[in-house]
Amino acid sequence: MIRKSFLFGTAAIALLAGAPLATTFFGAAPGAVAQAQTAPVPIAPATSPTAVPQDAAEIKLSFAPLVKTSAPAVVNVYAARKLVARSPFEGDPFFEQFFGQRFRQQPRIESSLGSGVVVDASGLIVTNNHVIKDADEVKVALSDGREFTSRILMKDERADLAVLKIDGDEPFPALKLADSDEVDIGDLVLAIGNPFGIGQTVTNGIVSALARTHIGVNDFGYFIQTDAAINPGNSGGALIDMRGELLGVNTAIYSRSGGSNGIGFAIPSNMVRVFVEAARNGGRFERPFIGATFAPVTSDIAEAVGLERPAGSLVESLYPGGPAEKAGVEPGDVVMSIDGFAIGNPDTLGYRLATAGIGKSVQLEVNRNGASKTLTLSLAAPPEVPAREAKHIGGETPFSGATVANLSPRLADELDMTQTLKGVVVTEVEPRSFAARFGLQAKDIVVSVNGRAVDTTAALDKLAADGRRGWVFEIERDGKRLTQRVR
């Protein structure tokens, strides 16, 4: 089973990637696709206020009409990839001369199963990145039994989202995106997906919590929690509200056994909306560049800045000339809210900035020395300044086999690094090269070589061509300085 777990004590947060791997592609049993359902009809928006059942008649009410109109937009996603097992004799001149290709192994196909949601009648589907990761081919099956091939328009591991496009011209049943900021704890929800590959299944529950962070699933750490039963294979499926609108994309569960324990997590629809819009525009998903680094507010910090309790996001440093500095943000400020939404920690801040969108302006409420200030912050795309000027280092040096580039906010965003970092970064290391042998890794920042500071790829290339025998170089990895000596 393609599953990815993040351990917390004796339990785990599991990404619900799908059914067990198989050696044949799309060999699901007929029961894996739900029976045909009636064509969707519009649902009248709710006109009465939210209320709990008041009598026996109301308790007998059914979700069936809601399911009939919503389920056709939830699809099964089949992803397949070729795996080529390398023979230990492959590439050996002696064995290839005498035995030819008989040791060459035949590729095998691995397939996995997940769920997806049609969010546009043209055939745009949103699912989880981990459902289609490394896939060579992706097919989708609708609830009425029709199957289509699809293309991956955009995917992002940090957001754990992907957008597919069905290869078909006809209009498809689609779900409207809800405003996930309007949901309340206790609201009724339905989860629709394909758990364990048995076919489309519907479960119901309530919203158990909002703004769940530190789940360890994606880069933004902001989830809707529900007790609606979610199991492996539900990944990418729909969490819908009582209007039949998409409230979130089911992504992970907190589980001791691998099955549902009533603690599931969904990526909010407002994050999905921004991601799908980026796919529609043919771009890539980028985090807004604001030019600042942040830290959680501890109880000691809260007391020092005059807060009643730990809350907000502490500004640690600013990127010179960045949007935050231009807006008047200062180190030591605590960001308390964005456009009226409370900020509990840096994860919440990152989510609010991402869902606001590049090109927009937001109102920041900051606490500065106990006083509240409101600042206008413009959200920009990460700039590629300086130019990356990538270079592949050759020769016989500790850097041979490494590709390096000048670090900019845009390149840092692509590498999932802090956007304010500067210097020369390793972007790739060839296996079995000198660079790999001496421990260089992608995302390492080369700080100095033989006592000389490295600030550009041209400077590193020149130092690497020195031809000396002894080397001392310093790198920065995950915020730590490491020194390597090579004789």
Q: Is residue 236 a contact partner of residue 250, using CB atoms and an 8 Å limit?
A: yes
The structure's pTM equals: 0.77
pLDDT at 16: 62
Answer yes or no: are the C-beta atoms of 129 and 160 closer than 8 Å: yes
DSSP 8-state secondary structure symbol assigned to residue 181: G
What is the tens place of the pLDDT at every residue in 416-426? 888 888 999 99
pLDDT at position 404 is: 96
Residue-range domains of the chain with CATH: 180-280 (2.40.10.10), 292-378 (2.30.42.10), 391-486 (2.30.42.10)
Count the helices and strands in the chain (H runs, E runs). Answer: 11, 27
Yes or no: say if 238 and 250 are a contact pair by the CB < 8 Å rule: yes
Half-sphere exposure of 246 (CA within 13 A, CB side): 32
pLDDT at position 293, please?
92
**pLDDT tens, 94-115?**
555 555 555 555 555 556 688 9
Active site residues: 130, 160, 235
Residues 6 or more apart whose CB falls under 8 angstroms from that of 467 comprise 395
Closest by CA to 263, choosing from 226, 237, 297, 293, is 226
Q: What is the pLDDT of residues 73-87, one digit of tens each?
A: 999 999 887 655 554
Residue 256, SS3?
Answer: coil
CA quadruple 378, 220, 478, 380: dihedral, nearest 10: -20
Three-class secondary structure of residue 70 per DSSP: helix
pLDDT of residue 14: 58
pLDDT at 365: 96
Residues of the chain with pLDDT under 50: 1-12, 19-47, 87, 89, 218
Q: Which neighbouring-strand residues pair with 363?
A: 376
Q: Which of 39, 175, 40, 191 is nearest to 120 (CA)?
A: 175
